Structure 1
C-alpha cells in the first residue's frame, strides 16, 4: 500500500505540474508583450475615434475663422490704360459707371494707389497675426483694375465677414481734411443694413481712437451713406469704404507719404475691423 500511495502522490504532482504549465501558457498574450498592457494597432477603435475627433476639431476651427477682404482702391497701371478703365460696368441700382479710375495724389506726387495698397498690406498683416483670414482684391501696384463690380464679386465669393475698401480723398476745398467712412445707403440687401452700419461705426471709432480727425467737409460724424459706390451697392457682405484723409491737405499728405503714418492708418483700420468681428 505504501508503494501504491507513493505512485498516486507522484501522479498527482505530475498532473498539477502539467496543469500549471498549460494555464501559464494560456495566460500569455499572443504578441509576447506585457500582459497588463493590451497592445494597440494603428487601426484600433480608440485611435480611429481620436483621429476623427481631431479632424472634426480642425475643420470646425477653419470654418469658424473670420474672413476679411481688403480692397486697395485703384491700381498703378490704370492711368496708362484709359480704354480699359473707362469702359462702363454695372454699378448697382440699375446704373453703370467707369470700370475704375486713376485716383488722386499728394502735391508732391505720391499716388493714392500706392498708399492704398501699402495700408492694406499693413492692415492685413495685423489681422493675420490675430488669426483672421485675409484676402485682397489686388496684391500688386502695376496692374489695371480690377473693375469696381469685380472687386465686389471677390468679397461676395469669399463670403467675407467684412469687406473694407481703402482710399484717400483729393478734395481741393480749402481746409478740407479728416477721414470719413462711406457705405451703401439706402441698403439693397440685409448685409448692407445693420451689419454694414456696425462695421462703419467700428471703423470710425478705430480711426478716431487712433487720433485721426473726423472730416468736417462731408458726411456726418465721420459717416457718409452713398448710393453711387458700385463696390458697396453690389456687395452682399457687410462692406465699407475708408477715406483715410485728404491727400491735398499738407499735414495729412505728409502722414500718408511716410511709412510711420501709413502704419498708423493701417493699425487704426485693423483695430476697427477686429472690434467689429469681436476678435
Structure 2
C-alpha cells in the first residue's frame, strides 16, 4: 500500500536501537543521476506527525539531539523556524545557496488534536493542518526520527557553506500546518526544499521512496514551474540515498524506481520552489525499523540526502 498520511503513532515502549544495513540494491547503478519513472497511485490525504522522544543518545557529533528542544518548547511562537543558524564563514561549494529542511511533523502535535485537525486551504482542496505521525511498533516516533535526520542533514549542508532553514525544530507547540510549510519555503527563496518523513505501512513493505510533485494547475495550486527541477532534485536524492545507505527503493510504492509522483499533497502543490518529500523507510516493518532506529544508519541517510541536494545545486 502507498504512503498513508493518517496512520497514528502507537503507544510508546522502550525504543530498540541498532540494526543491520540493507544489501546494495539495483538503484545503486543509477549513481548521481538517480532513477526515472513514476510511482504508484496516490492514497488519501495529509501527512502525520508524532510523539516526542529524547533522541539524545543517537545525535551525531556536532548536531542537536533530536528531542532535546521539545522539553522546553511548549509555548513558543507559532511561526516557522525562520532564522538561519550560523554556518561558519559561509564558504564552501554551497555558499550562497538556501536549503529549507522540513522535518515531517512536530513532536507536540499529539498534544494538540484540535489545532492540527483544523482544515486549511491547500490550493486544490481543504485538508487537516497536520497529523500526529506514525511510529515503530514499540513507539519510536516519526517526529523524533525526522528531527534527528534533519539535524544531521543540516550539519552536513552547513559544512558545505549552505544556509539551512528549518520549518520547525520542536520550537513551537504544534505544526506548522502544511500550507505554512509550503509558504515558508517559498518565502525563503529556497534553492531546494526537502521534507523528511518515514512511512507507516504494513509488515513486508520495505525501502525508501521520494515523492515528486505532479503537474497541478487548479485553484491556488500551480506546480508548472517546479515539476522539472523537483524531479531532478528527487532523482539526485534517490540515487545518492542508495549509494550512502546501501538500501533498496520501495517494494510497494514507485514500481521499483524509488520515485512516486503525487498530486494530493498540499506541501508540494503550494510550493513555488523545487521541493520533494523523502520517505526514508517503513517504521512498521521489522527490518526497516532496525535501520531507522540505528543512529549509524540515520547518519548514512542524512549523508545520502545531503549528497543528492548538493549534486542538484551544483548542477
Higher relative CO (CA 8 A, sep ≥ 6), structure 1 or 2? 2
Q: How much does 1:141 deviate?
A: 6.5
Structural RMSD (CA): 2.0
Q: 2-side partners of 1:123 and 1:185: how far apart? A: 26
Native 8 Å contact 1:184 1:232 kept in 2: yes
Q: How much does 1:143 deviate?
A: 2.7
Native 8 Å contact 2:213 2:223 kept in 1: no
Native 8 Å contact 2:152 2:299 kept in 1: yes
Matches within 5 A, 1:256-267: 256-267=292-303
Q: Does 1:111 align with 2:141?
A: yes
Matches within 5 A, 1:211-230: 211-220=246-255, 221-230=257-266
In the other structure, the counterpart of 2:239 is 205
Matches within 5 A, 1:62-81: 65-81=96-112
Q: How much does 1:245 deviate?
A: 0.5
Distance 1:171 1:86, change over 3 A: same
Is there any run of 5+ residues in structure 1 with no aligned partner, and where? 1-57
In the other structure, the counterpart of 2:210 is 181
Q: 1-side partners of 2:240 and 2:185: how far apart? A: 22
Q: 1-side partners of 2:226 and 2:133: how far apart? A: 25
Is there any run of 5+ residues in structure 2 with no aligned partner, and where? 1-88, 217-221
Q: 1-side partners of 2:299 and 2:123: how far apart? A: 33
**Which of 87, 99, 117 in structure 2 is aligned with 1:86?**
117
Q: 1-side partners of 2:224 and 2:164: how far apart? A: 23
Matches within 5 A, 1:101-140: 101-140=131-170
Q: How much does 1:97 deviate?
A: 0.5
In the other structure, the counterpart of 1:43 is none
Counting helix residues as a fraction of each chain, which structure ranks higher? 1
Q: 1-side partners of 2:131 and 2:168: how far apart? A: 15
Per-residue displacement from partner, 1:108-136 (whole Å, max 9, x unpaired)?
A: 11000010011011001000000111000
Q: 2-side partners of 1:212 and 1:92: how far apart? A: 35
Does the residue aligned with 1:71 lie in a helix, a strand or coil?
A: strand
Per-residue displacement from partner, 1:124-165 (whole Å, max 9, x unpaired)?
A: 100000011100001127730000000001100000000000
Native 8 Å contact 1:182 1:223 kept in 2: yes
In the other structure, the counterpart of 1:167 is 197
Q: TM-score, normalised by structure 1?
A: 0.74
Native 8 Å contact 1:76 1:141 kept in 2: no
Q: Does 1:195 align with 2:225?
A: no
Q: 1-side partners of 2:165 and 2:304: how far apart? A: 18
In the other structure, the counterpart of 2:72 is none
Does the residue aligned with 1:77 lie in a helix, a strand or coil?
A: helix
Does the residue aligned with 2:278 lie in a helix, a strand or coil?
A: strand
In the other structure, the counterpart of 2:278 is 242
Does the residue aligned with 2:107 lie in a helix, a strand or coil?
A: coil
